[in-house]
């Protein structure tokens, strides 16, 4: 599929996906969402890719969902639009490899929501994040009410959503909405540095750890422990586990093969 609104490139084992609709500040419409779904479906199946970085072209990460498209929707159409976004963001969240959001500017509404579907968020000092939907007469519709509360706690999530106020990167860091804040010209370098560090580890172990965290968050602590134990055990059926422990005992760097 040739993408109209995305730029995808690979640097070694790192895939960089850039939303490329700068005139609308990378607003998410049905076309962008469909391309993201296709792109991440293929990335999930691409064994040559170990980590994905998601970012935006220009001064915006994603300024939100496309209001010009949403404004004319009825309730049935609104349901379908939300489902398309939710399905795509869930695909990103459940991707078999880590996804790093490099937030280069506005991450509002759907932009904040898509960043929340990523595993790690690195923000530029110029980034602005928030869920302004109630100021438009709607609720967050791409998972914001669910992921934001799970990420920063229900009280702070309710405050941000109810007040519809946007926050700067440093405040987002303070409340745990982003992992790190860097200067704009260092953003992609920092994202690549982190991606390469993750890619150097066992891809299977990282995959199983991501599954255990994501699945465990949906359940009680006892069930979560069962999930962790099962994934821990799976590692012992891999060559990566044997190589990793052998390399440790031999005081050398492991050479993981993802099997």
Q: In what order do the strands lie in the sheet with 51-56?
A: 6-11, 14-19, 51-56, 99-103, 120-124, 180-182
Q: 93, 133, 171, 183: which one is catalytic? A: 133
Instruction: Evaluate whether 76 touches 40 at the Cβ level (below 8 Å).
Output: no
In the annotation, is 197 catalytic? Answer: no
In the annotation, is 133 catalytic? Answer: yes
Q: 113, 171, 228, 239: which one is catalytic? A: 113
d(CA 256, CA 200): 8
Spell out the SS3 assignment of 217-252: CCCCHHHHHHHHHHHHHHHCCCHHHHHHHHHHHCCC
d(CA 64, CA 105): 12
- Say how many residues make up the chain: 259
d(CA 101, CA 54): 5
Q: What are phi and psi of 215, to 5 degrees?
A: -70, -35
- Residues designated catalytic: 113, 133
């Amino acid at each position: 599929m040739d993408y109209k609104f995305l730029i995808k490139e690979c640097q070694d084992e790192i895939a960089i996906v850039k939303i490329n609709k700068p005139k609308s500040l990378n607003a998410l419409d049905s076309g962008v969402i469909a391309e993201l779904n296709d792109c991440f479906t293929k990335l999930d199946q691409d064994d040559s890719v170990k980590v994905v970085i998601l970012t935006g072209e220009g001064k915006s990460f994603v300024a939100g969902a496309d209001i010009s498209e949403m404004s004319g929707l009825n309730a049935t159409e609104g349901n379908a639009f939300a489902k398309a976004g939710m399905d795509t963001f869930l695909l990103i969240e459940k991707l078999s490899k880590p996804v790093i959001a490099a937030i280069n500017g506005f991450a509002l509404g759907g932009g904040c929501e898509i960043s929340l579907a990523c595993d790690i968020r690195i923000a530029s000092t110029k980034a602005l994040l928030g869920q302004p939907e109630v100021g438009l007469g709607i609720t967050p519709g791409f998972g914001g009410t669910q992921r934001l509360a799970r990420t920063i706690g229900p009280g702070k999530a309710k405050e941000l959503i109810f007040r519809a106020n946007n926050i700067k990167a440093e405040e987002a860091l303070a409340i745990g909405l982003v992992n790190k804040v860097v200067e704009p010209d260092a953003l992609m370098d920092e994202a690549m540095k982190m991606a390469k560090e993750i890619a150097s580890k066992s891809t299977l172990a990282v995959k199983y750890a991501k599954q255990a965290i994501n699945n465990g968050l949906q359940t009680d602590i006892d069930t979560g422990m069962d999930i962790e134990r099962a994934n821990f055990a799976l590692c012992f059926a891999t060559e990566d586990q044997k190589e990793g422990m052998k390399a440790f005992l031999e005081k050398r760097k492991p050479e993981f093969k993802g099997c």
